Structure 1
Amino acid sequence: MSQPSARSPGRSAFRAALTTAGLLIACAVGFFVWQDFYPVQSADGWSYEVLHEDVQKAASLVPLPDGGLLVSQELRKDKGNILHIATDGKRRVMIDGLSKPDGMIAAQGGWVFSQETDNRPVQLLKDGKVSDLFMGNSVQGLWNDGDYLYAIEDSHDNGRLLRYRWSDGELTVLREHLQETESITRCTDGNLLYSAKEKGLVHRFSEDGKDPVLLSGLNKPTFLMCDERGLWISEDSTHRARLLLWDGKGEPRTILSFLKAPQSIVPDGKGGYLLAEGGRDRVLHLTPAR
């Protein structure tokens, strides 16, 4: 009778290694799937609902006086557009053929929008017509204060902070050599703030050029928005991103967690907020407890 052959130690070790590697890969895949589908969590005193779905790469939001909404769909290679969503849910494309339309803000009785691509104009949509304001390179953040329009470029090492004067079209470069700066906003105290995404910082613009750091240690901060509650910050991370609220003291409070690449946040005009969650192609409605 033949005896069963002993297994080679090398072969057994190889099989064990393959099994371990397979388990590690399965765990990693499961972890990322879990992060994708784990529901958004809201802080005590806040709740949210999905207002609009199937909004591709939702980025900037502009609520309209009639209750409608403009949303920029931040697609690349001239496939992006600005979408109008009416109060009854009907949709129509206002402007198409855009490449990564990102910033958008109401101004001059219309809407200014930018494209996060080199050598593209910042443009004004008013009365159904589009006009060029000035050229930029990967302009993302926009802020309008009536007399001036501010724009900030998202570049790896040569971004600029620009100021456009509405009265005569004068364009002033306020800062150069910025690194991945994505959003700019003015707060109720008059301070102008901007985010530096990869460094995890929020800066305060100062006339002396030093621009001190207000917040650090953030996870890819992108869009900023100030109101009476404080400074709102969305983190442009594809996993476990947060919507933060900072009252100017201590650490920011997490209002929403387990988001996926959230973008702009804007007031809804009724005490709540709209948030573009670009990583899940939707717009959320955030409301405080009554």
Structure 2
Amino acid sequence: MYGLGLSCAAALGFFAWQSFYPVRPTDGWDYQVAYRDVPKAASLALAQDGSLIVSQELRDRKGSIVRIHPDGQREVIVPNLSKPDGMVPAQGGWVFSQEVGGAPVSLLKDGVVTDLFSGDNVQGLWNDGDDLYAIEDSKGDGRLLRYRWSDGTLTVVRDQLNEAESITRCTDGRLLYTKKKEGAVRQLTEDHRDPVVLAGLNQPTYLMCDERGLWISEDSTHRARLLLVDPQGKQQTILSFLKAPQSIIRTDKGSYLLAEGGRNRVLELTPASIDSLHGEAD
């Protein structure tokens, strides 16, 4: 019994260490906590006035989309949601998903929510101008959907996907999506082969591309990473010891905001050449 007690204590201590160990940036980067007390922070978007729009991925109609104003005040703009997850600017507003069965993908514009179509456990979204892509995070029967803005037609682009989570188009034109359980990023191709672009990842979730390359967050509750693959294909760990990081966006001043849902906060990530304007250390 004494030995069992020691083993249990050691295990609990190990998990506590992983939960509270501070996030570690790589050389040349720094981070600060931009916003605390953001329950289950998932997707991020910036409004024209500098406000941050955040989806709070709580279950059972306890989730919401919140606007954090530049002065720090918070305003719930869409309440009573169930696992609001993906969010992307589109049509002068924001499209958002709810990761539950049969929930609508909706457009929030000028304070009005309009349902576009329904899906099952829709997570990732990407607006491609004429088309909106939505990907379902389901075990074995997920779909990649394409919604045509001009006439509202909905097309199944892929089916029988297993835990696909996000989709984005990169600056080189490639349309990429993640398969979480497979630990891979794949490229959507016309021949339906969808080759693996990256493998060996730890539960990859959100993707984002800019001139620095492809950003990937790992949706693990322990020792998750934020990765960057540069245009030459070199992979670098930018942040480590994260807890369930989600979406990442770039700000107008050249820094990045990262939703860390496992710690209910939003981080600001800056290259060494840029000074952060707000926030506090971990």
Q: How does the TM-score come out when normalised to structure 2? A: 0.95
* Cross-structure match for 2:91: 108
Indicate the residue corresponding to 1:223 in structure 2. 206
Q: Which residue of 2 aligns with 1:44?
A: 27
Q: Which runs of 5+ in 2 are unaligned?
A: 274-282
CA root-mean-square deviation: 0.8
- Shift in Å, 1:122: 0.4
Deviation at 1:21, TM superposition (A): 1.1
Query: Corresponding residue for 1:148?
Result: 131
1:229 maps to amino acid: R
Tell me the distance in 1 between the aligned counterparts of 2:120 and 2:251. 30
Q: Show the counterpart of 1:6.
A: none
The 3-state SS of whatever aligns with 1:119 is strand
SS of corresponding position for 1:55? coil
Please identify runs of 4+ aligned residues in structure 1 that moved more than 6 A: none
Alignment counterpart, residue 35 of structure 1, candidates 2, 18, 23: 18
Equivalent AA in structure 1 for residue 10 of structure 2: C
**Partner Cα distance (1:101, 1:241) in 2:** 22
Superposition deviation, residue 127 in structure 1: 1.0
Per-residue deviation, 1:20? 1.3
Distance in 1 (CA, whole Å) between partners of 2:231 and 2:102 is 37
- Give distance in 2, aligned partners of 1:243 and 1:222: 10
Give the total of aligned pairs: 273
SS in 2 for 1:50: strand
For 1:260, the aligned partner's letter is K
Aligned positions of 1:127-206 closer than 5 A: 127-206=110-189
CA distance in 2, matches of 1:173, 1:119: 16
Q: Residue 81 and residue 62 in structure 1: after superposition, are their counterparts in 2 closer, same or farther (change >3 A)? A: same
Deviations 1:39-64 (A, max 9, x none): 00001000000000000000000011
Partner of 1:272: 255
Q: Which has the larger radius of gyration?
A: 1
Sequence identity percentage = 67
Aligned to 2:72: 89
Could you tell me which residue of structure 2 aligns to residue 123 of structure 1?
106
Distance in 2 (alpha carbons) for counterparts of 1:252 and 1:197: 18
Residue identity in the other structure for 1:68: S
Q: Which consecutive residues of structure 1, in runs of 5 or more, have no partner in the other structure?
A: 1-17
Instruction: Return the offset for 1:248.
Output: 4.7
Q: CA deviation at 1:258?
A: 0.3
For 2:147, what is the secondary structure of its paired residue?
A: strand
Residue 210 of structure 1, aligned match among 193, 206, 212: 193
Distance in structure 1 (CA, Å) of the matches to 2:113 and 2:10: 50
Moved more, 240-249 or 142-151: 240-249
SS at match of 1:136: strand
Amino acid in structure 2 at the alignment position of 1:92: E
Change (3 A) 1:251 1:21: farther
**TM-score, normalisation: structure 1:** 0.93
Q: Give distance in 2, aligned partners of 1:132 and 1:66.
A: 25
Cα deviations across residues 79-124 of structure 1 (Å, max 9, x unaligned)?
A: 1000110000000100111100000011000010000001011000
1:207 maps to a residue whose letter is: E
Cα deviation for residue 251 of structure 1 reads 5.1
- Counterpart-to-counterpart distance in 2, 1:269 and 1:202: 27
TM-aligned CA deviation for residue 250 of structure 1: 5.0
